[in-house]
Amino acid sequence: MVNVLLNDLLLNKKNSLKKFLVAYFYGISFLSLSQPLKIKNNESGILSLGVRTTVSLFNDSETGNFGTGAGGQFRIQLAERVNTDWFFDYLTADVKEIANRTDYHIGWSVLFYPYLKEKQLFKPYILAGHCFDYTHIVENSNRTNFAERWSSAVQMGIGTHINLTQRLDFTVMGQYMIHLGNEIHPEVVNNQLVYTNNHNHGASLEGHLLINLGIHYKIIDLWGGK
């Protein structure tokens, strides 16, 4: 059947052949993902891809509402005990029921595994890293009334991978992230949202606790545990 199709494509449609070959090799690639990952020495060099969902508690902010987010990340493991997360998060939250807030996080963390053994279900870690962020606050009933800022942040936290299979893990993590950027201080004055700034230089610190739940799949051993 495949031969007939291939002959037909070879004879008649060069463009279709290209599409077929691309689809074929993609298919082969995906099939290989279901195979056990060949790890040469240790887990150094493993590239993982994943998605994550986030709960954000803006507990240092005037916009102290509960936020939720979604994002993705990839991991590159540098040594048996050291991994790195490279992530992007998109978070939304209400501001005093009259506005909403959107945060974009892009950053990285170094993960250290203090406790290792063979075939462990729970693989706990501690982490620290850096992040760059963009925040946008806009009034619900007046989209032209908004404030925005760029900020940078440092974060520290703890978490654990739950290894469901050799290649698949579920990750639970809590991290405290502290942002340095221009202050956005939304206040309701005469039933309108206004943005005030109490700081002379306009800068402020804003910390929040992030709870992340993620699922990751190990794709390839990039340098074979060297």
Partner 1 sequence: MGRQIILFSILLNCFTFVAQKTKNASNDNYFRPGLIKASATITTGRMLQNKANSIYLNGFLEYVVDENYSFRGEIFQFIDAKYSGSSSFTNPNYMNRIYFGGFRHFGKNNFKIATGAQMGVLMADYDHTSYERQFYVAPSFALKLGADYYVWDYFHFFANLSYVNSTIRGTQTGKHKIDEILFSAGLGFQINTEK
What does the binding site for partner 1 look like in residue numbers (CB under 8 A)? 78-79, 81-82, 109-110, 112, 114-116, 126, 128-130, 152-154, 156, 158, 178, 180, 198-205
Residue with tokens 């230089």: 201
Q: How many CA atoms lie within 13 A of 22 on its CB side?
A: 6
Shortest reach from residue 159's CB to partner 1, in Å: 13
Shortest reach from residue 114's CB to partner 1, in Å: 4
Shortest reach from residue 94's CB to partner 1, in Å: 25
Neighbours of 38 (CB within 10 A): 8
Specify the residue, 70 or 205, whose C-beta has the smaller distance to partner 1: 205
Structure tokens at 54: 């986030």
Specify the residue, 74 or 108, whose C-beta has the smaller distance to partner 1: 108
Specify the residue, 73 or 204, whose C-beta has the smaller distance to partner 1: 204
Shortest reach from residue 191's CB to partner 1, in Å: 28
Specify the residue, 152 or 165, whose C-beta has the smaller distance to partner 1: 152
In sign, the C-alpha dihedral spanning 57, 60, 64, 70 is negative
Specify the residue, 36 or 114, whose C-beta has the smaller distance to partner 1: 114
The residues near 102 (Cβ < 8 Å, ≥ 6 apart) are 90, 91, 92, 135, 136, 137
Neighbours of 32 (CB within 10 A): 11
Distance, CA of 203 to CA of 205 (rounded, Å): 7
Shortest reach from residue 180's CB to partner 1, in Å: 5
The DSSP 8-state label assigned to residue 40 in this structure reads S
